[in-house]
C-alpha cells in the first residue's frame, strides 16, 4: 500500500475579482445617480429699514394707584400689587433705562402703603427722577 502524504497547500483568496466588482458597482452608482437641480421660484421678500424690531421705550413712566390698590403702569393694569410684579413691569417697560422720569399718582382714598411700595421699588431699581403727582381741585379754592 502506497501511503503518500500529500503536501497540503494553503488556500489562497484572490481579491482581484472582488475589487473589480466593487469598483464596477461604484462606477455604476456614480453614473446612474442623477443630480437633479430643484426647480426654483424667484421670490422677492419685503425689505425693512432696520434689521431688528425694537420695542418702543416710553419717554416717561406713570404709575397710577387706584382706591382699591390696583397698580397701573403707563395705563396697563398689573395682575397684583406685589413689589416683584411692580419691579418686573418697570424693568420691562423702561428697558433698563433708569434715567427716565417716573411719576407716581394715587387716588385720594388709596392707602399710603401702596405709594410707599411704589416709591421703594422704583428707588431700588435706581430711578432718581421720581415725582408724585397731585391734582389741584379748583372747586376747593
Q: What domains are defined for the chain?
A: 61-132 (3.30.420.270)
Q: The whole model's pTM is what?
A: 0.55
Q: What is the pLDDT along the chain (141 residues), one digit of tens a residue?
A: 567 777 777 888 888 889 999 999 999 988 888 766 666 777 787 777 665 655 666 788 999 999 898 999 988 999 998 999 999 999 998 888 888 899 999 988 888 899 999 999 999 999 988 888 866 655 554
CA distance 6 to 42: 79
CA distance 46 to 69: 47
Start-to-end C-alpha separation, the chain: 148
CA distance 119 to 102: 10
- Contact predicate 130/102, CB 8 Å: yes
Nearest to residue 74, comparing CAs of 89, 95, 52? 89
Amino acid at each position: 500500500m502506497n501511503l503518500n502524504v500529500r503536501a497540503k497547500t494553503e488556500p489562497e483568496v484572490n481579491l482581484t475579482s472582488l475589487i473589480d466588482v466593487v469598483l464596477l458597482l461604484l462606477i455604476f452608482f456614480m453614473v446612474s445617480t442623477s443630480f437633479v437641480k430643484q426647480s426654483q421660484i424667484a421670490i422677492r421678500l419685503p425689505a425693512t429699514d432696520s434689521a431688528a424690531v425694537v420695542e418702543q421705550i416710553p419717554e416717561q413712566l406713570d404709575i397710577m394707584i387706584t382706591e382699591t390698590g390696583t397698580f397701573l403702569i403707563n395705563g396697563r393694569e398689573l395682575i397684583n400689587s406685589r413689589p416683584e410684579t411692580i419691579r418686573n413691569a418697570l424693568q420691562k417697560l423702561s428697558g433698563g433705562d433708569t434715567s427716565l422720569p417716573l411719576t407716581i399718582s394715587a387716588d385720594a382714598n388709596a392707602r399710603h402703603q401702596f405709594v410707599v411700595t411704589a416709591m421703594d421699588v422704583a428707588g431700588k431699581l435706581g430711578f432718581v427722577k421720581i415725582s408724585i403727582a397731585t391734582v389741584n381741585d379748583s372747586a376747593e379754592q
